[in-house]
Amino acid sequence: MRNPWVNGEFIFDLSENNIFTKDDENYINGLGIQQLNTVGQIYLLDIFLSKDNYVDLHYHSNASELTYCISGSATISFINPTPNEWQSFTLKPGEAVSIPQGFWHCAQALEENTHLLATHDTDNLQTIFGSDLLRLTPKEVMASIYCLDEMSLEKVLSPINETSVIGPPADCERHVAGDRVRERNEDEHSGLGFINEMPRSDDEKMKKENNKQQEVNKEEPKAEYESETTGVQSIPIPLYNEAVSPYPIHKK
């Protein structure tokens, strides 16, 4: 019987198999059995990231992963289903983290020129990205399951129109929370932003005035039509979910 390795290929340049490129500093190259027919049960992802860029949330249905930090540093995060917790690990050069098969995970670069090597125990890696889950799942299904407004959901998720392997895109614009509150209140002619961003000294002054007014209300006799809760009451400022920041997805 002829040795199957005789005519095999033994060397491959990963740069010749680019999987995704966001820009010159953020891209991923790969190697599996399609690139090197002697590779065995292994698939490599050579990952290059600049600071604050992410490998999109994803999971591998057919492989475990071992991510090794070559340079820079990164946070590797996943949902651990055993304690049902979100766990994060900081990787520095020479360190590796194990990601079991099926774990929902992502990677964030903490420094410029971060270089990671992700090794998988399969020669034909299968990956499901979070961006695909969001854009391909019918909005009416998500709205029904989570009791959401379908039109609002459609609007929020509409910019995600293709697979996002590395995010956020180069043209993503984010504002700090204070700016968002200020802009929203200007549009709605609301005083909540002023209260929310009030200096501490003014805030304390308002509390003292409210306390004085409450004392006055206690001393004044209540009319027959007044309820027991009449008086100056603090109105809770509504909390807004600032976690969703929709942005277009670009693939170079």
Distance CA 168, CA 113 (A): 17
DSSP secondary structure letter of residue 158? T
**What residues contact residue 90 under an 8 Å CB cut-off, 6+ apart?**
73, 74, 75, 110
User: E strands along the chain, which residues?
Assistant: 18-23, 26-31, 43-49, 54-60, 65-71, 74-80, 85-91, 96-99, 105-109, 114-120, 127-129, 166-167
The one-digit pLDDT tens for each residue of the chain (252 residues) are 456 555 778 999 999 999 999 999 999 999 999 999 888 899 999 999 999 999 999 999 999 999 999 999 999 999 999 999 999 999 999 999 999 999 999 999 999 999 999 999 999 999 999 999 999 999 999 999 999 999 999 999 999 999 999 999 877 876 444 444 444 444 544 433 333 333 444 555 556 666 666 665 555 544 443 434 334 333 343 332 333 333 333 344
Helix axes 139-146, 150-157, angle to 10 degrees: 130
Structure confidence at residue 181 (pLDDT): 40
Structure confidence at residue 229 (pLDDT): 39
Distance CA 137, CA 102 (A): 19
- Domain 14-134, classified CATH 2.60.120.10, yes or no: yes
Nearest to 118 by CA among 185, 221, 19: 19
| Location of structure tokens 């997805």 | 249
Entry pTM? 0.68
**Residue 250 identity (one-letter amino acid):** H
Nearest to 251 by CA among 62, 18, 58: 18
Residue 37's CB is within 10 A of a number of other CB atoms, namely 16
Give ∠ CA 143-146-152 in degrees, rounded to 5. 40
**DSSP per residue, 173-216:** ----HHHHHHHHHHHHT-SHHHHHT--HHHHHHHHHHHHHHHHH
Nearest to 143 by CA among 131, 162, 156: 156
Distances (CA, A) of 13 to 10, 93, 160, 191, 213: 11, 22, 32, 60, 76
- CATH 2.60.120.10 segments of the chain: 14-134
